[in-house]
Amino acid sequence: MSGPARPASTPARVRGRAVPLALLMLLAMVALLTAVLLPRVGTADGGSERLIHSERSLYRQVLVYQDDDAGTRCLCFTRLCAIGRQSCQYLREPDRLVFEYTQMMLGALYLAPQPRSILIIGLGGGTLPHTLEKLLPQADIDVVEIDPAVLRVAQQYFGFRPDAHVHVIVEDGRAYVRRMLRGPRRYQLIMLDAYDSQYIPEHMLTREFLMEVRSLLTPDGVVAANTFSSSRLYQNESVTYQSVFGGFYNLKSGNRVILAANGPLPSMQTVTRNSGLFYQAFQPFGLEPADVLARFSTRVDWNPHARVLTDQYSPANLLNALPP
C-alpha cells in the first residue's frame, strides 16, 4: 500500500512550522489507513458499517462489521453485509433480538415449551444458544458448527461462551446427525440454522437429511428450520418438508421459519395456550409472544406438485438463483 509523498526537508528558518505540518500529514495518513483497512458499507437505513474483523477460513470469508450509529455488530459471510447478515447484536443490549427470524425460531417453544435436550445446527454469532440457555437454564444444548473460524469470532466479538449446559461440536451438521443416530441420544428440539454465503448447504435440504433429523427427535420432538420466504426454491423446500413431516406451521417475515413435529402437529389452541407461558420470559429479549403467534399459519401457499429435493436431486444453488 502506498501513501502520500513526504514533503521535502524544511529549512531551519521555517522549522517552527514543520511540527504542525508533520502532524497534519500524520493525521492524513491515519485517516487514509483507516479508510483502507476499515472500509465502510452502506446499510438499508442509510447508516454505515465499518469492518472490524476479516479472515478467510477453509469454507468462507468471515467478516464482522460494526455500525456505531445504530449500535450494532454483525457477522457476515459476504462483503455485501447489508443483504447477507448471518447474525447481529445490539452492543448496548446484547440480549435484545435483532432479527425477526430469530424471534420466529423461538416459536418452536409454543409447540414444546420445556425441551430439556436441544440441538442447533449452525452457530452464527451464538444468538440462539445464548437466548435458549437464558430461557431454559435446565436444558442441555448441543451446537454443531462446521467452521472453527465462526466459533472463534462468536466468542471474540459476540460474547458467546460454551459452558456446562452449552456444548459446541465442530463438525458438518449432517455428519453429526448421522453419527448420533448410531447412539441412544435423542433431542426434544432441533433447530436448523446452517447457512453459507448463499443459502443452506444443499445436502441439508434433502428428504433424506430431514428423515435423519426426524429420526433424531424424541417421539414428542419438534424441528424448527430457518429458510427463505421467497425464492424459486420455496416450492421444492415446502413439498420436501411436507413429505417428511406432513403438515407444519409456516411463519414468514423477511425469512420463513418452518415448525414441524415428530408426532401430530399441536393445534392452534395448544400453541396459543403455550405462548402465554412466555410473556414475562420474552421481555428481556424485546419480544412479544403475540407477535410471533400472529405469524403462525398452516396455509399451503406453494405448488404441491413441485419436485421433492433428494440426495440425487438437490440443485439448490441453481433453483435459488432463478427469479421467482
| Distance (Å) of CA 41 to CA 35, 49, 83, 198 | 11, 5, 11, 19
301 carries an active-site annotation: no
pLDDT over 90, % of the chain: 71
More confident call, 131 vs 4: 131
Q: What is the CA radius of gyration of the chain?
A: 24
Of 140, 193, 220, 301, catalytic: 193
Residue 119: what pLDDT? 98
The answer to whether 196 and 320 have CB atoms below 8 angstroms apart is no
pTM score of the predicted model: 0.83
Tell me the per-residue pLDDT of 78-112, one tens digit each, with 9 for 90 and over. 776 655 678 999 999 999 999 999 999 999 999 99
Instruction: List pLDDT tens digits, range 266-320.
Output: 999 999 999 999 999 999 999 999 999 999 999 999 999 999 999 998 776 666 6
* Whether pLDDT at 217 is above 80: yes
Q: Indicate the pLDDT class of residue 60, thresholds 50, 70 and 90.
A: confident
Question: What pLDDT digit, counting tens, does each position of 128-168 carry?
Answer: 999 999 999 999 999 999 999 999 999 999 999 999 999 99
Query: pLDDT at residue 21 above 80?
Result: no
Report the helix count and the strand count for the chain, using DSSP H and E: 10, 12
In Å, how far are 257, 266, 276 from 243, measured between CA atoms? 17, 18, 31
